[in-house]
Amino acid sequence: MSALCESLVNAIDEAKRSSKKRNFVQSIDLIIVLRDVDMKKPENRINEKVILPNPIDKPVKVCVFGEGDFALKAKEAGADLVLGRADIERLGGDKKSAKKLAKEYDAFIARADLMPLIGRYLGPVLGPRGKMPDPIPPTGDVVSAIRQARACVRIRSRTQPIVQCRIGTETMPSEKIAENAEAIISAVERKLKSPHNIGAIYVKTTMGPPIKVKLTRR
């Protein structure tokens, strides 16, 4: 076990101990505070997917926009919700339902030819949340796309020098959560070119206090 992984495990254990028991399974979040990074420069903003080495206990809810055979394959692959052109247009006129959709579903996939329509009607809701759909060609492999969406987590930073994402649940072994955290940290380091651009790392449960991770430079 690396020194960083050991520090992460210790912090995750403390986060679990410090959190009051709730009547639901809490997520474990990773918070990375960046330093000496000019967020006004587009090249310094982060918006990418990272495949986690360990699946998160909480299911990732996937919504697919598509029609015809594409929609049928998505349903057979276990997509949690499949919406067509008429649904997109309806949601465009119902902001409350659109916001509920954006909040309830973790990942979105769309048949590529529907992206202009989605951008027009749902872009204002999905875009700011970093949930614009991944476009797939009409004959593309939507089954693999759904599988990958459930194995990935999206990391993003916009105007504030902070990256926050879910890396596990309180029921998962701390070592597995730490491995997921390392994958995210490595992705951020690759994007920023230097580990010294990471100023601080915290972990926390959904309702618990943030616990600072002892940084070990690599």
Instruction: Render each residue's pLDDT in the chain as its tens digit; 218 residues.
Output: 788 889 999 999 999 999 888 888 899 999 999 998 888 888 788 888 898 999 887 788 999 999 999 999 999 999 999 999 999 999 999 999 999 999 999 999 999 999 999 999 999 999 988 899 999 999 999 999 999 888 888 888 878 899 999 999 999 999 999 999 999 999 998 888 777 889 999 999 999 999 999 876 55
pLDDT at position 217: 55
Question: What are residue 57's phi and psi, to 5 degrees?
Answer: -60, -40
pLDDT at position 98: 95
Q: Are strands 81-83 and 62-65 parallel, antiparallel or unpaired?
A: parallel
Q: Which two tokens stand for residue 27?
A: 């997520």
Q: Where are the beta strands (DSSP E) in the chain?
A: 27-34, 47-51, 62-65, 81-83, 107-111, 134-136, 152-156, 162-169, 198-205, 211-212
pLDDT at position 120: 96
Q: Where are the beta strands (DSSP E) in 38-133?
A: 47-51, 62-65, 81-83, 107-111
pLDDT at position 216: 65
What gap in Å lies between CA 196 and CA 218, rounded to an integer?
10
The answer to whether the beta carbons of residues 77 and 119 sit under 8 Å apart is: no
